[in-house]
Amino acid sequence: MPKPAPLVLTHRPRRLRRQPGRRALVAETVVRVEDLIAPLFVVDGKGRPEPIASMPGVSRFNIADLVKECRELHALGVPAVALFPKLDSRLKDATGTEALNKKTLILRAVRAVKAAVPELTVITDVALDPYTSHGHDGVLTAAGDDVANDRTVAILCQMAVLQAGAGVDFVAPSDMMDGRVGAIRKALDAAGHTDTGILAYSAKFNSAYYGPFRDAVGSAKAAGTRLLSKATYQMNPANRREAIREVQLDVAEGADIVMVKPAGAYLDIIREVRNNTRTPVAAYQVSGEYAQLHAAAKLGWLDLARCRDESLLAIKRAGADMILTYFAKDVAASLRGAK
């Protein structure tokens, strides 16, 4: 069979893919250790880390072990952690009273972490779902069929001030109540916490991907069901324009960083947000995204490390400046060449 004549081509894009060095030179998107935020779960007591069955490799830490984990993350170059408490059910009630306890778990955890690793950026969740017996992100209306927006916002402001006083760098309202960013900003400033930032969960969707997280903080079973609906305050997954409106409102109210959550199924939203604001954009690769990759890898269907890295690259490529991910430690170790 005669050898075919070479094609006469001016452009051969494959020239840029021939070798790893060439591919690296023209890479358009890079995930850096500095882009990562590690979500961590904290519990009271002195027990060993509690593995979370639905999130392989993720555990709840007591405060001492949390500090140890934060030291390790900082040594790997991870710049920030986001802390979430898992409370004893006996501390929960219908109005989330424990959230305003000046000695509550999350405040003690923040103080310990900031004392041990002051350079680490610490972010805390501002929402009532870890504290309420019904599992909702706020207090309920008199009829008990919805979350009372303005009453909830008043409590969130008090929570934010307490957390700022404990030393957090960013408070992160994840509740999706109307007007809470502006109210929190005013409350922080009035209390003298003008340097405490707000990382707003601006476009947080009513997603089915949150199940493992609700196990982790103990809110999944608070109302006796995994199917607790938060549709009256979290966003409809069908809506894109509404996400931009929510982001713009939060920016106008004083958000320093805006967030899209979840990330993987909402890459189009991340891109829309990136195109419509100059404010830094965070994206949260949520527990369900993490769990599904582990589950498929366990069955031998996917290469965990490659799919992990590709999923994060996609989030960054969509426009996220920073990514909250349960893969943070493993990715940091990989990027740093740690064994």
| Rounded average pLDDT over 177-195 | 98
Percent of the chain whose predicted confidence (pLDDT) is above 90 = 89
pLDDT at 212: 81
For the chain, the residue count is 339
Residue with tokens 């310990």: 112
Residue 133 has a pLDDT of: 92
Share the mean pLDDT of the chain. Answer: 94
Place 219 in a pLDDT band, splitting at 50, 70 and 90. low
Provide mean pLDDT across the span 310-336: 97
Write down the pLDDT at residue 339.
Answer: 43
Which residues have CB under 8 Å from 25's CB, separation 6+? 16
Confidence of residue 220 (pLDDT cuts 50, 70, 90): low
| Mean local confidence (pLDDT), 217-231 | 63
Q: Look up residue 150 and give its amino acid.
A: D
Active-site entry in 86, 261, 316, 329? 261
Nearest to 138 by CA among 202, 232, 207, 62: 232
- Which has the minimum average pLDDT: 17-21, 208-212, 247-251? 208-212
The pLDDT tens digits for 37-88 are 999 999 999 889 999 999 999 999 999 999 999 999 999 999 999 999 999 9
Residue 4: is the preceding peptide bond cis (ω within 30°)?
Answer: no
Positive or negative torsion for Cα 120, 161, 85, 38: negative
Catalytic residue at 316? no
Average pLDDT over residues 234-242: 97
- Whether 204 is catalytic is yes
For the ranges 107-116, 270-279, 329-338, the lowest mean pLDDT is seen at 329-338
**If you average pLDDT over residues 193-211, what whole number do you get?**
95
Residue 337 has pLDDT above 90, yes or no: no
Of 92, 204, 230, 329, catalytic: 204
Residue 159's pLDDT band (cuts 50, 70, 90): very high
pLDDT at 225: 46
Q: What is the pLDDT of residue 336?
A: 87
pLDDT at residue 180 in the model? 98
The architecture CATH gives domain 31-335: Alpha-Beta Barrel (3.20)
pLDDT, residue 215, reads 77
Q: Which pLDDT score is estimated for 80?
A: 98
Gap between the Cα atoms of 154 and 161, Å rounded: 11
DSSP string, 92-156: -BTT-GGGG-TT-HHHHHHHHHHHH-TTSEEEEEE-STTTBTT--SSPBPTTSSSB-HHHHHHHH
